[in-house]
Amino acid sequence: MKKISFLLGILAVVLAFSSCNKTETYADQLDRENEAINAYIVKHGIKVISEEQFEKQGNTTDVSKNQYVLFASSGVYMQIIDKGTGEPLKKGETATVLCRFTENNLITDTLQLTNSILYFGKTVDKMSVTNTSGTYTASFDPKSSVMYEAYRSTSVPAGWLIPLQYINLGRLTTPTSKLAKVKLIVPSQQGQINATQSVYPCSYDITYQRGL
């Protein structure tokens, strides 16, 4: 019942957006999205840095200053909380990546989906990721993916793939091992299928772990 109620809640949000969208132009929707992102940045005291500054800092963000780097070409904001144990996905490599995540809708300012708590806590989202000369592609495993259960799509949000070139993929094999962890602000065009269709941004907390 908890699973059904949670999915019905997502459906209600989607239907509400669909109703609103009938009276809005796409430009109106984008303006609303940008306002929601800016409001989130102000509310959470986020310090936005450029890609140039991010590079000068060794491709890291200063968590003590609540820094997020803005990737101008995609509109995605990223904070690296921990780069993680292990090594980055190599060029030409395909790997299974396991993710724990929390997804918040920035328009409604609510928790929308998570596999960290509630009914879905027993499921770790599994995706197959390929690094082709620095370009990352990925798909969710329908048999082990809360994102797939909620949105009925194996497509991984493009925003989820951006951190992969800056983090390490490892496993918790020793007491000092750490998983890569990031926070993201993802505009609709870089997000999951419902966000793209209904034009709303999401924030994410995500951990990445190399699968077996």
**Hey, what are 168's tokens?**
């390490």
pTM recorded for the entire structure: 0.89
Q: Quick one: CA torsion of 75, 164, 95, 147, rounded to 10 degrees?
A: -40
Q: How far is CA 62 from CA 40, 76, 79, 105, 182, in A?
A: 19, 17, 8, 25, 12
- pLDDT given for residue 4 in this prediction: 45
Rg of the Cα trace of the chain? 17
Q: What pLDDT score does 3 carry?
A: 54
The pLDDT value recorded for residue 21 is: 56
Task: Tokens for 127, please give them.
Answer: 């995706």
Which residue, 46, 12, 11, 36, is CA-closest to 199? 36
pLDDT 10s digit of each residue in the chain, 212 long? 545 445 545 555 555 554 455 688 999 999 999 999 999 999 999 999 999 999 999 999 999 999 999 999 999 999 999 999 999 999 999 999 999 999 999 999 999 999 998 666 789 999 999 999 999 999 999 999 999 999 999 999 999 999 999 999 999 999 999 999 999 999 999 999 999 999 999 999 999 999 98
CB 80 within 8 A of CB 196: no
